[in-house]
Amino acid sequence: MNDHILEARGLKKAFGPKEVLKGLDLSAARGEVVGILGRNGSGKTTLFSILLDLTAADAGTAKILGARPDGSGRVRSLIGYVPEKPAFHGFMTAKQVLEFRAGFFPSWDMAKALGLCRKLELDPASRVSAMSKGNLAKLAWITATAHNPELLLLDEPTSGLDYLVRDHILNGLIHELTEGGKTILVSNHRMGEMGGILDRVCVLKDGVIAASHAAAFLAEEAFRAAARLESPVALPDGVVALNGSGALREFAVFGRERLEKLKLDPAFAGAEISPLSLEDSFKVLLGE
């Protein structure tokens, strides 16, 4: 049995002459946490929108827990979604939002929702129109998880939040993972802060998944090599120039085997090798 919670094949989407997705393939296995890495405007939100059945793909197929985004909105009952800019009706209180949403999700767990309110220090009686950005993010997190979805789509879930709120959200994520084995698709400009929970990082570039790396690989087999080069050299595959001026240059090297090969190159003799941080790895991947 295919254990993929999410499977997208050949997704295409254009807005006028601008092709945002150009045949994107993506899958996520049950319990997998996948980070979508891409620059602004690379199509992350469009991808999420298609998966959520909010936007129709021009071509390609997507399947989420066996359901297809067909315009009925049914797949949204299977997904917990945290948008980049959460919005609720201003005239409602947090509790009214939860009660209202409960009417749409048969598996809604009000006790869990209220429990999360307490845990995240969100007053259920507070009115949405008076909520801070952080409280809106908390409410979004609660509404995304209260119906116990198997798949969470998180679109910049910590964007613009202070450290405390961010910790709350990340702790919530970890809790969902440990308690429920959720599948999570997350896009985040500061992917480094997610590093500990990611299983895989996919690079969305030019409308397709340009690269996909296991998070463990990036954590353990990404290195920084600093070397003094007397003359320009051709860089082998898997080695990316980072910065430097004059003869002193820095390189990112992905893979222990490539690192060993590089060390054998006379030009890199004496290079100083150190681990590359996740944050820097993501920067390299984005810049590739």
Q: Which of 71, 232, 246, 266 binds another protein (CB under 8 A)?
A: 71
The phi, psi pair for 16, rounded to 5°, reads: 65, -135
**How far apart are CB 193 and another protein at their closest, in Å?**
24
DSSP state letters, 105-119: -TT--HHHHHHHHHH
Taking CB under 8 A as the criterion, which residues in 184-203 touch another protein? none
User: What is the rounded end-to-end Cα distance, in angstroms, of the chain?
Assistant: 36
**How far apart are CB 36 and another protein at their closest, in Å?**
18
Q: Which stretch binds another protein (CB under 8 A): 3-11, 87-95, 201-209, 218-226?
A: 87-95
| Amino acid, single-letter form, for residue 196 | G
**Binding-site residue total for another protein (CB under 8 A)?**
28
Q: Which of 32, 36, 63, 88 binds another protein (CB under 8 A)?
A: 88
User: What torsion do the CA atoms of 13, 36, 24, 29 make, to the nearest 10 degrees?
Assistant: -130
Binding mask 94-133 for another protein (x = CB under 8 A): ------xx-xxx----------------------------
Instruction: For residues 231 and 172, give the distance between their C-alpha atoms in angstroms, rounded to a whole number.
Output: 51
Name the β-bridge partners of 206: none
Question: Is residue 15 part of the contact set for another protein (CB under 8 A)?
Answer: yes
Question: Is residue 247 part of the contact set for another protein (CB under 8 A)?
Answer: no
| Amino acid, single-letter form, for residue 54 | L
Query: Locate tokens 């259920």: which residue?
Result: 124
User: What torsion do the CA atoms of 40, 283, 7, 103 make, to the nearest 10 degrees?
Assistant: -60
Q: Which stretch binds another protein (CB under 8 A): 75-83, 111-119, 190-198, 253-261?
A: 75-83
Q: Which residues bind another protein (CB under 8 A)?
A: 13-15, 52, 54-56, 58, 71-77, 81, 83, 85-89, 91, 100-101, 103-105
